[in-house]
Amino acid sequence: MAAVHRRVAGALNLLETSSIPERISLSRTPIHPEGMKMQKRDLLSCVGPRPAAVAAVVLWCGLISIVDVKAQDRPPDVEGVVTLTNWPEQRRVDAAPLDYDKFRLLPFIDVLVVRYRFMEVADKATMEIALEWQIGERGVLNGRKVKRSQLPDRVIAESIDLLAKVVVDEQVVGEFFLPLDTLRLGPSPSVARVEIRDVEWDSVFSDVSGERARELFRTGFQLEDLRILRVVFDTEAPSRVEREL
């Protein structure tokens, strides 16, 4: 039976932005978290609830100032980077095979990078996410594999559902579900930045109690094994495809 990931209704308003200072550097090799520290001055904000829950997500296009919170008022932030490379050709071995004949448009992803910062603010959870993807050298168009040059010029990820394992000391303790329903994000150098705030603790992770989630925010964890559960690609032309992956 497929896992059920909790979703909480809320507004999601994301804008695509084409030039962000200090944008993520993409490569075919996974990027080490230490080299990808998120800069507070380089964030766009969003409000609205989501992942296995979340509280509200609002995206603004432009630089913002984050409300200062004294370090002594809350525990250190949990920061890191999780990546997915060579998708969908190197999908998990337990994933169902893709039938390319059923796709009208499916650009392959060379690398998907998700930077994250989790923090406790005013006794609730806040999550800052930066998302960027690099288009691969091949893709699927009208049911057959083609070179990148044969794909439409303007391809965007209209929406995406992501899932990652929550890991402590190499042990999986839960899952983090991130559904972005109105993403409309083109390939690099475009970057989507999201802030999810005022999240109740029992809504942060799947299969993790509120008390345990708050403890994890204070003691630390990593996100690993990034997966795409669902993605919708779109173009400026009418062609569009939505598939459960």
Beta-bridged to residue 165, according to DSSP, are: 175, 224
| Rounded-to-integer distance, Cα 120 and Cα 73, Å | 9
b/e code 197-219 from CB counts within 10 Å (16+ = b): bbbebbbbbbebeeebbbebbee
**Residue 122, phi-psi category: left (phi > 0), alpha (psi -120 to 50), beta (remainder):** left
| Rounded-to-integer distance, Cα 161 and Cα 9, Å | 15
pLDDT tens profile 51-93: 443 333 333 333 333 444 444 566 789 999 999 999 998 776 6
pTM of the predicted structure, to 2 decimals: 0.70
Q: What is the pLDDT of residue 42?
A: 29
* Omega within 30 of 0 (cis) for the link into 49: no
**CA 41 to centroid of chain Cα atoms:** 20
Position of tokens 């794909």?
A: 151
Q: What is the pLDDT of residue 126?
A: 96
| DSSP for 76-98, written as a single string | PPEEEEEEEEEETTT--TTSPPP
What string of pLDDT tens digits covers the 245 residues of the chain?
445 555 433 333 343 343 333 333 333 333 333 333 333 322 222 333 344 433 333 333 333 334 444 445 667 899 999 999 999 987 766 677 778 888 889 999 999 999 999 999 999 999 999 999 999 999 999 999 999 999 998 899 999 999 999 999 999 999 999 999 988 899 999 999 999 999 999 999 999 999 999 999 999 999 999 999 999 998 865 444 544 44
Beta-bridged to residue 230, according to DSSP, are: 161, 244
| Rounded-to-integer distance, Cα 116 and Cα 113, Å | 10
